[in-house]
Amino acid sequence: MPDGMMVDYDGLIPNNVGLNQDARLRKALETWHPGYIDWWKQMGPEGFQENLVYLRTAVGVDPKGWAKFDYVRMPEYKWGILLAPAVEDRRIGFGAQKGEPAWQDVPGEYRAMLRRIIVIQGDTEPASVEQQRHLGATAPSLYDMRNLFQVNVEEGRHLWAMVYLLQKYFGRDGREEAEDLLRRRSGSQDSPRMLGAFNEATPDWLSFYMFTFFTDRDGKMQLEALAQSGFDPLSRTCRFMLTEEAHHMFVGETGVARIIERTCQAMRAAGIEDPGDSERVRALGVIDLPAVQRKMNLHFSLTLDLFGAEISTNAANLFNAGLKGRYREDKLTDDHVLRDATYPVLRCIDGAIVSEAAPALSALNMRLRDDYVADCQGGVGRWNKIIEKAGYDFRLTLPHVAFNRHIGEFTALPVDTEGRVLDAANWAARRDAMLPNADDAAYVASLMRPVSARGAYANWIAPPKVGIDNKPGDFEYVRIEE
Ligand SMILES: [Fe+2]
Ligand SMILES: [Fe+2]
């Protein structure tokens, strides 16, 4: 068996990192564990801590059989530390030290930079659990409730993954950072989470699906870039996290797809020809497509902010240092050093949006964002297929990247979803047609009533095509005591 395939599943902390042979690390993690459980009980799914939930638990790292499904109470979930198997003779794939052996320990000169990216990634994981903690109470089905909790426990495991790196490789500083990860709170005035999108509310299930589609996908892009890292333990950690992350985006994409499907079905049955007739559509108790579009506009733009400034010395430094690569760096065919390369960057110059060639090293955030947008586009195309099949000529579109931005080139620039720069009055007049408005919020909130009978679904969402773990339609994904 290659290094890292053996999983010790029986201890308090399932792992394939040899915790039993590392007393110092085990002590650090066991000291951190009670605080984590307190955090989970306080900030994890509200009202369902005692219920049995049919969850997937990672029990190995073999791509063909890494998980098992069973009923668990969430506070008893086995949050393990799992690294993808080591690659023999792995080399640094990019940057100034390209070709040298990958680091098995933290290179001293990059210690601060490395710690920072691990903390930033780690901070997003518990944040999303906090953002989603009220949603169990309004789940549209047991199936959806279970998917929410699955995402939540896995984000919890991702926090463990980052805390493992901090405690194993960063000594006392790492232990302090690990404590702070449990101390910050999404949306808090005093100690908010580190990134903007992770301090926003997730008030309803449409937001949840949009969040998992758009914001978990940013997570995927960041993990892909870190999976390329020359710091091998980070690479292996992120590679395993990516196997779980795929399900989160599945939940988002199929959640929105099922909403669209149900809306189209209801419109057809009622003889509605114009999907823009929101009043008639809402009278059917389903979510009108323009409201779906506005939610998309919001979540897409908030998530773009997570990629940081288009032109960034920090991104260049991380790449040069061999710590954070590009999306699928190992599949790219250039020199992986990028000293003389350029990359087109959208900039705001004298109030106009123009494309400009920038040094490729400084433009790495922009590049990752472009890869992200292309990845989003695939899912949006599949959503549109549903609308097309139902015979409506309405199409959902990603807004322009300059729309509704709070970080980078386009910060606070009043731009419409097509990328046209507006004057302030025009922006104010059109805002409610482009971003979720008060009516949308009130209407969607009015739909958020729990449905917890086996095999039943709220009126505004279609059932899934197949069950989780191939379970039948009326499977009891969450045991709700009467
Ligand atoms: Fe995650
Ligand atoms: Fe995720």
The amino acid sitting at 387 is I
- Distance (angstroms) between ligand 1 centre and the Cα of 154 equals 7
- Distance (angstroms) between ligand 2 centre and the Cα of 246 equals 8
Bridge partners, residue 8, by sequence:
15
Question: Which ligand has the shortest distance to the CA of 248?
Answer: 2
Q: Which of 251, 306, 290 is nearest to 395 (CA)?
A: 290
pLDDT of residue 10: 78
Asked if the model's pLDDT at residue 231 lies above 80, the reply is yes
pLDDT of residue 5: 62
- Distance (angstroms) between ligand 2 centre and the Cα of 374 equals 19
- Distance (angstroms) between ligand 1 centre and the Cα of 303 equals 14
> What would the mean pLDDT of 312-326 be, rounded to a whole number?
98
CA dihedral 110, 111, 112, 117 (to 10 degrees): 80
Q: 8: exposed, middle or buried (C-beta count within 10 Å: 0-12, 13-18, 19+)?
A: middle
Weakest mean pLDDT among 56-65, 152-161, 201-210, 238-247 = 56-65
- Distance (angstroms) between ligand 1 centre and the Cα of 392 equals 36
What phi and psi, each to the nearest 5 degrees, are found at residue 451?
-125, 115
Average of per-residue pLDDT values in the chain: 96
Question: Which residues are close to ligand 2, an ion, with C-beta < 5 A?
Answer: 216, 219, 245, 248
- Distance (angstroms) between ligand 2 centre and the Cα of 124 equals 9
H helices present in 93-141, as ranges: 111-131
- Distance (angstroms) between ligand 2 centre and the Cα of 101 equals 30
- Distance (angstroms) between ligand 2 centre and the Cα of 56 equals 14
- Distance (angstroms) between ligand 2 centre and the Cα of 392 equals 32
- Distance (angstroms) between ligand 2 centre and the Cα of 155 equals 6
Question: Which ligand has the shortest distance to the CA of 122?
Answer: 1
- Distance (angstroms) between ligand 2 centre and the Cα of 152 equals 8
- Distance (angstroms) between ligand 1 centre and the Cα of 298 equals 21
CA dihedral 213, 299, 190, 33 (to 10 degrees): 0
pLDDT of residue 58: 87
Residues ≥6 apart with Cβ < 8 Å to 77: 55, 57, 153, 156
Question: Which ligand has the shortest distance to the CA of 156?
Answer: 1
Weakest mean pLDDT among 1-5, 54-58, 59-63, 205-209 = 1-5
The pLDDT tens digits of the residues spanning 25-79 come to 999 999 999 999 999 999 999 999 999 999 999 888 887 778 899 999 999 999 9
The pLDDT tens digits of the residues spanning 267-287 come to 999 999 999 999 999 999 999
- DSSP class per residue in 145-189: HHHHHHHHHHHHHHHHHHHHHHHHHSHHHHHHHHHHHHH--TT-S
- Distance (angstroms) between ligand 2 centre and the Cα of 245 equals 5
The pLDDT tens digits of the residues spanning 360-390 come to 999 999 999 999 999 999 999 999 999 999 9
- Distance (angstroms) between ligand 2 centre and the Cα of 128 equals 8
- Distance (angstroms) between ligand 2 centre and the Cα of 217 equals 8
> What would the mean pLDDT of 151-164 be, rounded to a whole number?
98
- Distance (angstroms) between ligand 1 centre and the Cα of 446 equals 30
- Distance (angstroms) between ligand 2 centre and the Cα of 156 equals 10
- Distance (angstroms) between ligand 1 centre and the Cα of 377 equals 21
Question: Which ligand has the shortest distance to the CA of 162?
Answer: 1
- Distance (angstroms) between ligand 1 centre and the Cα of 200 equals 17
- Distance (angstroms) between ligand 1 centre and the Cα of 82 equals 14
Question: Which ligand has the shortest distance to the CA of 213?
Answer: 2
Asked if the model's pLDDT at residue 9 lies above 90, the reply is no
Tokens, residue 430: 């059109």
- Distance (angstroms) between ligand 2 centre and the Cα of 442 equals 28
Asked if the model's pLDDT at residue 482 lies above 80, the reply is no
pLDDT of residue 347: 93
Question: Which ligand has the shortest distance to the CA of 159?
Answer: 1
Asked if the model's pLDDT at residue 172 lies above 50, the reply is yes
Question: How far apart (Å, rounded) are the C-alpha atoms in residues 35 and 52?
Answer: 22
Question: Which ligand has the shortest distance to the CA of 216?
Answer: 2
The domains located in the chain, with CATH, are 19-306+371-393+435-470 (1.10.620.20)
pLDDT of residue 38: 98
Pairing assessment for the beta strands 352-359 and 342-349 based on DSSP bridges: antiparallel
Contact 218, 306 (CB under 8 A): yes
Asked if the model's pLDDT at residue 4 lies above 80, the reply is no
- Distance (angstroms) between ligand 2 centre and the Cα of 325 equals 20
- Distance (angstroms) between ligand 2 centre and the Cα of 158 equals 8
Asked if the model's pLDDT at residue 1 lies above 90, the reply is no
pLDDT of residue 64: 79
